Amino acid sequence: MKRRTFIQTTGATVAGAAFLGGFPIGAYGHSAELAALTNATTQTDKVLVIVQLQGGNDGLNMIIPLDQYSALMAARPTLALPQSQVLPLTQATGMHPAMATAQQLYKNGQLGVVQSVGYPNPNFSHFRATDIWTSGSASDVMWNTGWGGRYLDGEFPNYPTGYPSAQNPDPLAISIGSVVSNCVQGPAVNMGMAIASTSSFYQLLSGGVDAAPATPAGHELTFIRQVVAQTQVYTTTIQAAAAKAKNLSPLYPTAGQNALADQLKIVAQLVAGGLSTRIYVCQLGGFDLHSLQVPATGSPTTGAHATLLGKLADGINAFQDDLRRLGVQDRVVGMTFSEFGRRIKANSGYGTDHGAASPLLVFGAQANPIVHGPNPTLPANAGVNDNVAMQIDYRSVYTSILKDWFQVPQATLNQLFGQAFPYVPVIKPQGALATAGAAAVEGFSVYPNPAIDQATVLFESQGGAVQLQLLDGLGRVVRRVVEGRPLGTGPQRVPLPVQGLAPGAYHCLVREADRSSSLVLVVAN
């Protein structure tokens, strides 16, 4: 069998010949979606890490609407957390107490929350919903490519023929986990490599291979592994990158205790080692908790879902600490997603059933550290079929990351996703919103955020001419609050009217002399 034919006709089942960090690695074919994500023509060094929460994460148990606690308690008397133990993010929004490290990332400006993410006409099948999220399609359309793979297909034509090359020596994408992610599936083959487990990663570095049993099936497995080893065209470059960097954070749990942390540890090592891979996909499973999401007796702050949320938070926290120590924190942004959320009302088994919209997290030194959008609206007496309604289309998050992180033109985004979607500033404002290298305006904040009729802007003035503006997602000025005049020296409180503005995210920009700062203000209904 020719190598290219084998690559194109094999799937996740062949990952296992070579290993890196304990995960078996398999090379797969080209995917246009990954090309889109990497935007290779821009020669960017940016990296996107996608974390899939498999099974359907209960968003109402992760990000808690403190302003609707009575409705939450009425719908979930056996599941709802004691309000006093919820970790505050804003006055209206909190986080599960198992996620203390994530709350600290939020406070430190390294984590944002996007509320009520979903799509019209949600599907409640694990398989179909996952297909929708990974392909970037509408619920009534079947696409066999991934949202990352389509873009890569345009950037790296004819892959895998001619790859690797002097211009493109590294994998286009790497998927870590037992399942090769469809996020980076191309028109013919997957655009990335697969690292099936953490143990196989480290076997790749050492050159070892798992022993096969001395049975007819074992002999076949040995043959498959030998063929897969022939496809490992990127093994040398991965080994070289891993040799150039070692993980520095002491926050990683002991190997095997946190699967997500084990995966992210590999990502940090490869990024710091200089691998030019743009997309990494990691996975954390176990979220399909129809029963015993919390223990039948004992505190609802514990149990299966609390354990998963703790692993999610601690894994991301260790990863961010490692990136900082390795000096690459400004190059990496991550996001979570799950195929759906859960119903508002708890079921009789101390669990939750398949639902619709739910929040997702965007993390990294360049993530916009705010809560995007208001809390979901909960009915006073939720029924068994009531769902969290979508506020933000999941494709708005995808296209906004591609636009801001990889500088993908809007016309290309429209082609990749079939239409345009509203912009969500999940990445910190860059470029025109602040003068490059400018000092920050001290004490700058905006409240309430989200705002309905009016917000208040706080900052410290040094007595110079102040410019205070509100810009939309395209950088257009929609409010000129202060236009180049002194306000005095010391603390300033400036009213910012937002009546008449369409709901959504805006940039509040303040400049004074050579100082400049911007924040995102969400305007709610």
Examine the pLDDT at 6 and tell me if it is beyond 50: no
Per residue in 90-141, pLDDT (tens digit) is 889 999 999 999 999 999 889 999 999 999 999 999 999 999 999 999 999 9
Q: What angle separates helix 410-417 from helix 147-155, to the nearest 10 degrees?
A: 120
Structure confidence at residue 18 (pLDDT): 44
Structure confidence at residue 225 (pLDDT): 57
Peptide bond into 359 cis (omega under 30): no
Chain CA centroid to CA 241, Å = 24
Binning the chain into helix, strand and coil, the percentages to the nearest 5 are 30, 25, 45
Structure confidence at residue 70 (pLDDT): 96
Structure confidence at residue 318 (pLDDT): 98
Phi, psi dihedrals of residue 367, rounded to the nearest 5°: -75, 145
Phi, psi dihedrals of residue 323, rounded to the nearest 5°: -60, -40
Q: Which residues contact 32 (CB under 8 A, 6 or more apart)?
A: 145, 149, 150, 151, 152, 153, 154, 155, 186, 187, 191
Per residue in 161-197, pLDDT (tens digit) is 788 888 888 888 899 876 668 998 888 778 888 887 7
3-state secondary structure of 400: helix
Nearest residue to 62 via CA among 403, 379, 382, 375: 375
For the chain, give every domain's residue range: 3-417, 431-523
Q: Which residues contact 258 (CB under 8 A, 6 or more apart)?
A: 252, 311, 314, 315
Per residue in 373-401, pLDDT (tens digit) is 889 999 999 999 999 999 999 999 999 99
Q: Which residues contact 56 (CB under 8 A, 6 or more apart)?
A: 126, 129, 287, 288, 338, 339, 340, 341, 342, 354, 355
Q: Comparing 7-11, 360-364, 486-490, 495-499, which segment has the lowest mean pLDDT?
A: 7-11
Distances in whole angstroms, Cα of residue 99 to Cα of each of 110, 149, 300, 310: 14, 32, 14, 5
3-state secondary structure of 33: helix
More confident site: 348 or 516: 348
Burial class (CB in 10 A: 0-12, 13-18, 19+), 436: exposed
First to last CA, the chain: 61
The mean per-residue pLDDT over the stretch 26-45 comes to 44
% of the chain exceeding 90 in pLDDT? 53
Q: Are strands 173-176 and 392-393 parallel, antiparallel or unpaired?
A: unpaired
**Range list of β-strands (E), 73-161:** 87-88, 93-95, 111-118
Starting at the edge strand found earlier in the chain, the sheet holding 93-95 runs: 63-65, 93-95, 87-88
Chain CA centroid to CA 377, Å = 24
State the pTM of this model.
0.76
Cβ atoms within 10 Å of 90's Cβ, excluding its own: 17
Examine the pLDDT at 13 and tell me if it is beyond 50: no
Angle formed at CA 408 by CA 245 and CA 189, multiple of 5 degrees? 70
3.20.20.70, 2.60.40.10, 3.50.50.60, 3.40.190.80: CATH of 431-523: 2.60.40.10
3-state secondary structure of 284: strand
Burial class (CB in 10 A: 0-12, 13-18, 19+), 391: buried
Element containing residue 218 per DSSP (H, E): helix 216-231
3-state secondary structure of 230: helix
Instruction: Measure the CA–CA gap between 131 and 178, rounded to whole angstroms.
Output: 17
Instruction: Measure the CA–CA gap between 185 and 180, rounded to whole angstroms.
Output: 9
| Residue 216 confidence class, pLDDT cut points 50, 70, 90 | low
Q: Which of 26-40, 204-218, 509-523 is the most confident on average?
A: 509-523
Q: Which residues contact 256 (CB under 8 A, 6 or more apart)?
A: 262
Structure confidence at residue 22 (pLDDT): 46
Instruction: Measure the CA–CA gap between 429 and 427, rounded to whole angstroms.
Output: 6
Structure confidence at residue 262 (pLDDT): 96
| DSSP string covering 304-341 | HHHHHHHHHHHHHHHHHHHHHHHT-GGGEEEEEEES--
